[in-house]
Amino acid sequence: MNQDLLSPEFATRMDQADPLKSFRDEFLFPKHAGEPQAYFVGNSLGLQPKGARAQVEEVLSKWADEAVEGHFTGQAQWMPYHELVRDDLAALVGAKPHEVVAMNSLTANLHLMMVSFYQPTIERTAILIEAGSFPSDRYAVESQLKFHGFNAQNSLIEVEPDLPNGVFSDQCIIDAIRTHGKRLSLVLWPGVQYRTGQAFDLQAIAGAAHEAGALVGFDLAHAVGNLPLQLHDDDADFAVWCHYKYCNAGPGAVGGCFVHERHAETTRPRLAGWWGNNPDVRFKMGTEFNPTRGADGWQLSNPPILGLAPLRASLDQFKRAGMPALREKSLQLTQYLAQCIETYLSDAIEIITPMSAEKRGAQLSLRVKAGRDAGRSLFEHLAAQGVLGDWREPDVIRISPAPLYNNVADVQRFVRATQEWMHGRR
Ligand SMILES: *Cc1c(COP(=O)(O)O)cnc(C)c1O
């Protein structure tokens, strides 16, 4: 059996039987020594769907042929261009169409959302986040605190993980929200933690935050396109994410934003721009801001059409594949990776990502037992063999089999390259 797990026949059999196998051919893989890389970095920058180029070229041609008229002509006119991705995006995150908008970038959207949904009062000034959060999120949060005259010492609550390797129990998060409940203005939590790969019960976190009288926002950078999401039903007040990781929409792709429909006509403060204004009156060029109902009302500028174009190709793939099928494959492929690590590599590597299905997505975060230098050495050995993971300080290698384009043969390449490295160190 063990031998079988790593045999080329096993990979061929599994990959032939994969109902999503044809999607792999829809991607462009960087080459290593003439062969496609074993690319496990979809958590950082997803591969280019072949369909992206046509979408970008369509915009370039329209610009060449029609210039300003391109705003108002044809199927993919630029004026309502963001609406072209709206329904598919809503389906991907489990939202109603008017609850989502593709705009800006993740951190910019996080700021826009906090302007509206972090409104401290005398009793409630605090924002609760996870300790070890992604730096950009922490900077954004701390700067929002300062903007309102508070600071991290008095108003930032960073919940420490209670389990080994930076992992949180569900109870730890709920307890922290309850403990600090009366001080809390906002809970901001990731869908999947970037360093450990842990996925969270968003519904439970939203429920606890609301029970405590706080609002709740989610950073879904590592969750969108990775896990099935139900943002509306889970009752998030807002969520933000990027599209260049599992969504494969290209470097710096336009980000995404969710605002629950109960805030669709909010009178909360917001930073306004003309693209958030009701399109019926936008071009009257009046002085009064009249926000569009729903998430669209938070738009500032006319969108970067060239940055949005690849997202159309990407969302089309997600629609055709279907998130349930992608998740099923993802669970199997990552489970296979874990099984191989436990069977062949456990002398050298430990998995820090929790392994139960509801607590992880595609990514496994691995720690090399011999320490940081050994970790770097393995990481570099893998890259030299055309096996690409990524490195997160101080000592984590992230390997993320993406179900749209990775397969069992890729995982075997990772395992074999790691075995070689282990052999070389004996
Ligand atoms: C990738 C990532 C970001 C990146 O932010 P940008 O504004 O898109 O540069 C921010 N936060 C988290 C948690 C991330 O994983």
Give per-residue pLDDT as tens, 238-253.
999 999 999 999 999 9
Q: Residue 44 C-alpha to ligand 1 middle, in angstroms? A: 9
Ligand 1 within 6 A of CB of 222: yes
Residue 325 has pLDDT above 90, yes or no: yes
Question: Using CA positions, which residue lies closest to atom 1 of ligand 1?
Answer: 221
Per-residue pLDDT at 3: 60
Identify the band that residue 2 occupies on the pLDDT scale cut at 50, 70 and 90. low
Per-residue pLDDT at 31: 97
Q: Residue 370 C-alpha to ligand 1 middle, in angstroms? A: 30
- Weakest-pLDDT range from 1-5, 66-70, 76-80, 299-303: 1-5
Give per-residue pLDDT as tens, 280-294.
887 788 889 999 999
Identify the band that residue 298 occupies on the pLDDT scale cut at 50, 70 and 90. very high
Per-residue pLDDT at 282: 79
Where do the CATH 3.90.1150.10 domains begin and end in the chain? 3-36+322-424
Mutate to test the pocket of ligand 1, among 130, 136, 194, 198 (most ligand atoms within 8 A of CB): 136
Q: Bridge partners of 365?
A: 398
222 labelled ligand-binding: yes
Q: Residue 242 C-alpha to ligand 1 middle, in angstroms? A: 7
135 labelled ligand-binding: yes
Ligand 1 within 6 A of CB of 241: no
Give per-residue pLDDT as tens, 180-225.
999 999 999 999 999 999 999 999 999 999 999 999 999 999 999 9
Ligand 1 within 6 A of CB of 137: yes
- Single pTM value for the model: 0.97
Ligand 1 within 6 A of CB of 253: no
Question: Using CA positions, which residue lies closest to atom 8 of ligand 1?
Answer: 106
Arithmetic mean of pLDDT, 113-127? 98
Q: Hey, what CATH class is 3-36+322-424 in?
A: alpha beta
Where do the CATH 3.40.640.10 domains begin and end in the chain? 56-319
Give per-residue pLDDT as tens, 36-70.
999 999 999 999 999 999 999 999 999 999 999 99
Ligand 1 within 6 A of CB of 221: yes
Tell me how far apart the alpha carbons of residues 267 and 363 are, in angstroms, rounded to a whole number.
Answer: 40
Please state which CATH number belongs to domain 56-319.
3.40.640.10
Per-residue pLDDT at 4: 85
Mean pLDDT across the chain, nearest whole number? 96
Question: Using CA positions, which residue lies closest to atom 14 of ligand 1?
Answer: 221
Residue 236 has pLDDT above 80, yes or no: yes
Tell me how far apart the alpha carbons of residues 367 and 339 are, in angstroms, rounded to a whole number.
Answer: 16
Ligand 1 within 6 A of CB of 332: no
